[in-house]
Structure 1
Amino acid sequence: MLLIHIKKLLVIIVQLILLFFIMFYCLKTSAIESHPVWLQESLDKADKLNDKNPHLAHEFVKNLKKNHSNKFSDFDFAAIYSRLATYQYYFGNFDESLTLISKSKKYMPVLKGKTGVEILLTYGSVLDAQGSADAAITVFHQAIDLAKSAQNNELISESYNVLAAIYAVNHNDIEALKYFNKAYILIAASKNELKMAYLKLNMANSYTYIKDFKKAILLQNEAIDYFKSNEYFYDEMLTIESQATTYLFAKNYDKALLSYQKVLELSKSFNDQNSQLFAFSGLSKVFLKKEEYEKSFLYWSKADELIYKVNSPYSYSSHLLIKAKLAIIKNKIKKATTAIKEAEVYLSKLDKDKNVNLFVTYFDIKIDIAMSRNDFKSAYLLLKKSSELYDNYHDVIRENTRSKYKIMFDTEQAELKNQLLEKDKKLAATELENSSHKNQIQNLVIIIAVLFIIILVYLFHKQIKTSKKLNRLANTDELTQLANRRYSFYYAERALKQSQLTAQNFSIIIFDIDHFKYVNDTFGHLAGDNVLIAVAKVASGYIREKDVLGRVGGEEFLAVLSGASSAQAYVIAQRIKLAIEDLSLEYDNRVIKVTASFGIAQFSEKQNDFVSLFQHADEYLYKAKNKGRNCIVSEFT
């Protein structure tokens, strides 16, 4: 018996020793994985400063490192460098941010906890800014997994939010929907109004990409109101940056101008050169769209003084494309060509399918350069590439438009499910659930389902109308409401092929308003616009219903005449010429009179493709100019 008791006693002693070592190890681990109280309070203060102004937070953490680095553990250094890396990302200093991330990883080789998640989120954001979207998405998924292992809902929702925003930028709205919805559920449950404002900002950017500008601006205004009322002025500035981009995409240039000017004003108060660069570039784009080229060049020059500080292929490409466009406007084709070649270095680092607008702009400028050199074949081939990319873009828009409604539906469903679950808990707790309540809930669900079906049918119908409207806008010249150059060329090529198959005549008329530069210089660009509108309206009256009239240049128009011989085209051109001669436009108590020169070409064995046909018509137009203008030239005249 004694031996048995001794054995039991030894077992208990061994168990106590093991328990002691386990407790010792846990305490040691806990000590390693937590900051000293004074440092944790300082880091919390830095995070609050970051919410208000990252520049103040940056200076605070730099001083913290400078004055107390001798007291830091590896875990402390990792947290310090992680925050400094985040601030440098905000400032657009991506190379510096990557250097600080490397230092942070050096002190935390195995990423864990809040600091590990923050390192991954900053790293992924920098990768995306440098054009590596797929690598960034992989890193953000790692951040989500790490946040889940840390059981930190705030970090999980932040990771979802950032990942959703990246998916939206890259036209993957199904994944964006999934992660926006997950972020929404967590943030709504936490009732964190600041995080909800950040979510609204990201969702507004997503709505901008799918061209629902009204919804985007509504969300941006809600975020701006929150940031402003709670004195988060830096975040207010970032949201106004987002809204400026939305107005630019929506072609509301006056409001875009005001937004960019507001960003410039706020960026100076924060001494934020990255935001100043954004404002200068945006103002240059706005004035370029408004055809105020001197102002556009002025702000482009200001942006050029800051662009070297940003290591972003997208920013560099966009900046150089503006330079090329301005050079073309000034007829400095050599400079435009040089700028395009420089832009191509940075464009090669970007995914064409994920930066459609940028590449369409690039092709349009290349087309303008080719046209200025009378290289119509190259212009035509570039136009085909641009059209293919543009068509793919519209496929993306259609898919995104459908996804847009799913975002609204799923968010509403999430709220409804939460309400029903809460209601069920209350009913279960109070034992008031009975058959009548069940019937009421079932009826409510049926009514909601019917309503959802009705709404879905309505929105689907609206989406079809929106798609048709977008297609019309994409093919229409904004000023004259005629077909734009892209659609005119596309239609002409199709019509020519059809005429070849049916052995029918096919002719085109190119006409150009004489001395149009004189009109702009003498009366102003607004008067010039009125002349273009009037000429377009008059010419449209003499074009047959089956024909297409388009504006293919500043003051140049193209009429595509299926089934018409050169002689028939001449009659049409003569009518248009006489109608333009009869125009009298009153502007600023002065009368404006204009004329036009015409070139006509007919499909033949020698001109059996659209490029050569267009080239011959253009040559006849120039002969008309040389003959003294206000006349018609074709191969038979």
Structure 2
Amino acid sequence: MWRRACANKKVSFWLLLFCTSWVQAIDLTGFESQLETITDAQAVFDFVESHAEDIESWPQNDQGMYYYRKGSALEGIGNTEAALASYTQAIKIFEQSTPPPEYLIHSLIERSYMKYVQTNDAEVYCGDRERALLIARQIEAQEALTRALIHMAFCYRTDRARFVEGLSLLEEALQAIEGHEQLKKYDGMIYNATGLMYRYNQIHDKAYEYLLKAHNAWAARNDIQDMFNMQHSLVGESVAMAKWEQAEQHVQQLFTLAESNPDFKDFHFFAYFNAGLVAYSRNNFNLAVKVLKQAESLYETTNEQYFVDRADEMLAIAYFRSGQIQDAIDKAADVLSNEAAEEGEQKPNLAMRAIADYGKGKYEQGLSHLWALVDSERDKRLEFIRYSSFAQAALFDQKLASYENAALEQALEINQLQLQAEQDKNSIFILTVVLVGLLAAGLIIWSVFLARSRKVYRTMAETDFLTGIASRRFTFEQGRSLVERALKNDKPVSVIIFDIDHFKQINDRYGHDVGDAAIVAIAQYSQRTLSDETLLGRIGGEEFLTILPDVKTDEALQIAEKLRKEIAALQVLSDHDSVRMTISAGIASSEKHMIDLEGLIQHADQALYTAKNQGRNQVLAA
């Protein structure tokens, strides 16, 4: 009431005097205190928006907090575009502070999520997450570090080449929350992310183990939505391992949660969807039809269009396999019609096209689609075989360390037995000698095996599987040593970060095989061009890091410019065309920035970011 009265221009002098004393700009503490009392999403946004003018008198970082809260409020009402802009404004403000505040990290994470929602393209949204993690490692902020580790790991869930790196980030996140009771709320998220890493690499027993841990963590807090989500995921993993009784138990848990929580409108749909999935996967097509029709009747209760489409596809095939041919033809036509109405490029739904062709009497064309489907499944299997050995080898390398620890424990036990033997020589002397000899021989054999195995897997871990140059982990380990040695000896050292311009367009237009060939060509050419003292590694999909000891900024610029010009002349052949590429590069040198490797990388990355924004195909120094 008083705000409306004070806004009226026709007020008395005394009322005006009252207004100037009463309507004072609220500070951040009061703003956030009042914000905590509001629960409705629209009301939260309205409150935040009403204080837009108040922040003009706030300190700089408090203004950044306002834009962070505004981004969250916009996200709450579904305006992702405006939320992204607000988080960007918060980032610009926080970047002006030294050292960087914790909420710079949170703002980068939230902006990356908005980019994920808009594009679902890791090349677009993961850059913010990398930067957030880099900053989080530099400041004492456990919660920000935990969030950054989890979100960065999600960037690697479909990148098989960085499988172990993703697991290491999640293991670090678990260590970060240890001993911090207020951070225990993240354990379910960490377990879930770990389970997804294993799932995408088709190591289903480990995926099931960690998804079950995530469920139990959320069950301890009675988080109904996340408990239900995990039961849904556990059904999928059980089906992947053909553990049918286990899958049925999780389906029953879904129905129990749906019955006891009627406020969650789509729970029944997902319960029937998973029941149908189990029946379909067991080739019980009559039961699958019955259950999936129940799911079909509940489509309007969910916004998850992917699962609606998947249910329709399973139902069409189940109709066909159970002899209900016309129903199958009609359902396949519905699926194809819905796909045609969707925007964007769609992969051909070969199974649905085969059924539709059968209904039209186009048997040869239908058979062609079935053969294409068989080829597609074969390619998936070959891809699984190609990468599963890498994933299993990486896991084996991790296990070696635990085996070595076990060997050390055995050695300690031997020492204890020897001490006991000295105390009672007359009774067990011969037995002790035999036992020690056998165990020592076993340890020697096991140590030789461990040494040889570790050498093989260490080489695999140090080498990028696609290009043959240094892996991301090895590049950072060796890079830190090179930078520390240069700084200690008062010698210059420079870093160059470069990546392929418009790489996503190359993949989309020519295919991932051509994209991989482009990465390999640039890596091999760069390796031949750079000196033996230079360290070159692949640190991302199409991103490379070069560390140049005893090189100053001017010389680094010359090296990078030479790479840029000569890479622009390279060609990669595709089926019908030759592909040319360009790169953008950012440079940072210790002569300007007397900091560690991570600091140099951060400056070089900012220069790369500027080069990209200024049109690409150029080199800039920080």
Larger Cα-atom Rg: 1
TM-score (norm 2): 0.49
TM-score (norm 1): 0.48
* Higher RCO (CA-CA < 8 Å; seq separation 6+): 1
